[in-house]
Each structure stands twice: as C-alpha cells, then as structure tokens.
C-alpha cells in the first residue's frame, strides 16, 4: 500500500476509527493518537488489507484491539467507583437493551473487568451488533470460544452488579 492508497483509506475510514477510539478511550487526546497508530498499523498490514472484503470491519478490529491494549495499561477505575458507590451498574440483562446508547455505555463500564480478548468479543457483539459467527471470523476463534468469552463477560456484568453469576447459561 502506498501513500496515495493510505490517504484514500484514511479519508473513507478515519471517522469510524476515531469514533471507536473515542468510545473506548474516553479521552480526546488519546483518541487522536490512537487514530494515527491504527492507520500506521494498517499500513504495516497493507497486503492483508488489499484482499479485505470488509475494510471497515478490519479497521475497527484493529482500532478495538489497539485501544483495549491501551486501556489495559490503566488502573481499573470502574470497580473502585462501584465500591465507593459512585457508580451503579445494571445487571447483565441490560446488555440486551434495544437502546443502542444505553447498551454501549454499560459495555464500556464493564470492559475493564475482563481480559482483552473477552473485551474485544463483547464490543463486537454488544456494540457492533455482529453475530457470533461474524465475530469468530474476525477474531480468529471458534464459535464455542466466542460463546465462552461472551459468558465470561456476562458473568463480569453480574459480579459488578452484585448478582450471582448466571447459572442458566444459554447455548
């Protein structure tokens, strides 16, 4: 991929990448840096990109992983906030809210409770509204693994809301 290609890619997709970075990092300055990093990574993987049928999905995956990696380096603030009563987190049923904004916000609060792969799967599922099959494809995991990660995420939601982990695990 040359500079001209990268520029075209940038003009078309930078807004989406920026949106994802702002959502995950909650910090304008960090999001701006992240956008640059994501496109530099895209350039590194230019050959993979050329054959990509869904460039937006591909870039969003890179952006999500990059930001989750940044987040992991930060202290877990959500649990602290809950403990101190500054934050109340809804139970896992709210993850199925049909209100995009509400769902998005809850997922964001929970991300720091789980490992990076689980967080990525949860974002693609609950925020991007992708199917488990689609997620398995882009994260390179089997369907059972995707389900396992989703259950871990849901359990983290229960734990943070002070509910026992769900026993009625769906399939």
144 binds another protein (CB under 8 A): no
66 binds another protein (CB under 8 A): no
Cβ pair 113, 78 in contact under 8 A: yes
Structure tokens at 90: 């809804």
Q: What three-state secondary structure class fits 86?
A: coil
What are the CA-CA distances from residue 113 to residues 78, 96, 107, 118 (Å)? 8, 19, 10, 10
If the CB atoms of residues 10 and 145 are measured against another protein, the closer one turns out to be: 10
What is the sign, positive or negative, of the torsion defined by CA atoms of 60, 66, 68, 74? negative
Cβ pair 110, 160 in contact under 8 A: yes
75 binds another protein (CB under 8 A): no
128 binds another protein (CB under 8 A): yes
Choose one: 53-61, 70-78, 82-90, 113-121; the region binding another protein (CB under 8 A): 53-61
Q: Which of 24, 67, 127, 160 binds another protein (CB under 8 A)?
A: 127
| Contact residues for another protein, defined by CB under 8 A | 3, 6-7, 10-19, 22, 28-29, 32-33, 35-36, 39-40, 43, 53-57, 60, 92-93, 96, 98-100, 103, 124-132, 134, 147, 150-151, 154, 166, 168-171
């Amino acid at each position: 991929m040359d500079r001209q290609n990268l520029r075209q890619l940038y003009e078309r997709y930078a807004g989406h990448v920026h949106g994802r970075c702002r959502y995950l990092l909650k910090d304008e300055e960090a999001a701006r840096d992240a956008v640059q990093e994501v496109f530099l990574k895209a350039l590194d993987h230019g050959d993979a990109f050329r054959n990509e049928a869904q460039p937006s999905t591909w870039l969003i995956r890179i952006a999500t992983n990059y930001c989750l990696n940044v987040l992991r380096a930060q202290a877990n603030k959500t649990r602290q906030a809950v403990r101190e009563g500054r934050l109340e987190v809804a139970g896992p049923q709210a993850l199925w809210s049909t209100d995009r904004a509400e769902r998005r916000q809850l997922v964001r609060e929970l991300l720091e409770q789980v490992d990076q792969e689980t967080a990525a799967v949860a974002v693609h599922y609950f925020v991007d509204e992708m199917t488990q099959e689609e997620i398995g494809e882009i994260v390179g995991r089997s369907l059972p693994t995707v389900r396992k990660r989703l259950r871990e995420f849901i359990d983290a939601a229960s734990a943070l809301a002070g509910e026992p982990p769900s026993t009625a695990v769906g399939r």
